[in-house]
Amino acid sequence: MAVRRGAVVTVLVVLLAGTGIGASLVVLTRTPGGDASGDWPAQFLRCGQAADDLARDTGSVRLDLTAAPARIAPGDPWTATTTATVTSGDEAWVVGTDVSFMQDGVVVAVQDGPQVLRPSDALTEGPSADPDGVRPDPVTQLSVDLLTCEEYLHGSTQHPLEAGTYEVLVTQTLGVQDDAGGVATIAVASARTRVVVSAEAATPTDEPGTTPSTDVTATRPDVLPVPGGPADALFACGSPAPTSTAGLPDAAGLTLTADVPAAQWVGGSTPFTVTLGTDDGSTVLANAPLGGTLALADATGDVVAFVGPSRADVDLVEIGPGSTTLLDATDADGGTQVAVCLPDGSAVTKAEAPTVGLPDGTYTAWAFAQVLPKEVTDADGLTTTPPADLLVVVAEPVRITLAR
């Protein structure tokens, strides 16, 4: 829905039952010749809101972001690919997608044009709202022009995004269709990433519209800290852990050191940190997780558990000789959690502390982080865009003792 400046419209907020999500109809309080500060299309109602007030996932859909650029220039559109996975196995259709740019935890810019329909329209129109109809895993290609909140606060004067780092929150509303072909529910899912706005913006690593399977630019919160991706080849439930760091896959000059307490881990969040660096004088701009992950191997050498951040969000970080990056899961929202391997090695289960579901004793802790480089500047100042390959960076193992 396009909103013309100078129109007189009414605001209506509809609450989606059971989700706490509100869908707003536009109300413009400005009449021709009136004050421009009242001219606010629906998406601008998000301005100034905190991220946690907007990202209210219903939990039935996982939203993944891929092909998101590390940098964009002021005035450029923001592009990405979203993939929605319905955890129940039902099919879904996309009602709409909202994009919010945030700094200091609040929304400072929004997409140009409201994307999400009213819930009543969504239920009435059904899958016809999505040109592709009902699909098992709906994929959406985004190319979003951005408007700053300042632009509508101060009338028609353009206010391009200022240079800096922004957190990007993508919220998608979907209709979920049951086996009988009816719309069973409306679901909401969100995902986050970061982007640097700079006049010297780099070319995106991935071509818009592609969905590389190794790109974990962002995922929804509250997933288990099981590695997935290329780390599966090194650390998998019930499989032998490496015997040393020698011979591990090349990490393209990235290094990892771990600060892991050696003894008496008893309950609560696990206090450990890892630090990313480089060993070849280069500086790397990359997507990295909130914290490192520990793969715990028992006396037989087999992986029996993982300890990692309870949220799977990532940050855009700069790693270099003078700017090592500390990843501390215990400082992140939600702290750490543990995934304990089941006896058959086929699955994992949640636990609140390292001692839950694991016998007392000594374990070998392998700290690792999966990193997606976006831009590399070598020691001579030459900047290149690396392949879109997720790298596993592993620290030297340490021995730890679990005790109740």
- pLDDT, tens digit, 9 for 90 and up, residues 322-348: 666 777 655 545 566 777 776 655 445
Q: Which CATH architecture has domain 47-197?
A: Sandwich (2.60)
CA 402/CA 296 separation, integer angstroms: 11
Supply the pLDDT for residue 65.
Answer: 79
Helices (H), 96-175: 119-125, 149-153
pLDDT at 51 over 70: yes
Which range has the worst mean pLDDT, 133-137, 193-197, 318-322?
A: 133-137
Q: Which of 125-129, 221-225, 302-306, 399-403 has the least mean pLDDT?
A: 221-225
CA neighbours closer than 13 Å in the CB half-sphere of residue 111: 20
Give one DSSP letter per residue of 267-284, joined into a string. SSS---EEEEEESSS-EE
Which residues have C-beta within 8 Å of that of residue 213, sequence separation ≥ 6? none
Q: Answer yes or no: are the C-beta atoms of 349 and 342 closer than 8 Å.
A: yes
Predicted TM-score (pTM) of the model is: 0.48
Report the C-alpha gap between 373 and 392 in whole angstroms.
11
The pLDDT of 279-307, averaged and rounded, is 87
Predicted confidence band at 393 (pLDDT cuts at 50, 70, 90)? Answer: very high
Over residues 377-384, the mean pLDDT reads 89
Which ranges of 154-284 does DSSP label H, i.e. alpha helix? Answer: none
Give the side-chain half-sphere CA count within 13 A for 105: 4
Burial class (CB in 10 A: 0-12, 13-18, 19+), 14: middle
List the beta strands (DSSP E) in 37-119.
Answer: 61-66, 71-72, 78-86, 91-103, 106-111
CA distance 213 to 205: 14
- The residue-averaged pLDDT of 272-293 equals 86
pLDDT at res. 394: 95
Q: Where are the domains of the chain?
A: 47-197, 229-402
**Between 129 and 344, residue with greater pLDDT:** 129
Question: Is residue 380 over pLDDT 60?
Answer: yes
Convert the pLDDT of each residue in 4-41 to its tens digit.
333 332 233 333 333 333 333 222 322 222 233 344 57
Residue 28 identity (one-letter amino acid): L
Nearest to residue 338, comparing CAs of 398, 267, 288, 390? 267
Cα angle 204, 205, 209 (rounded to 5 degrees) comes to: 75
C-alpha R_g of the chain: 23
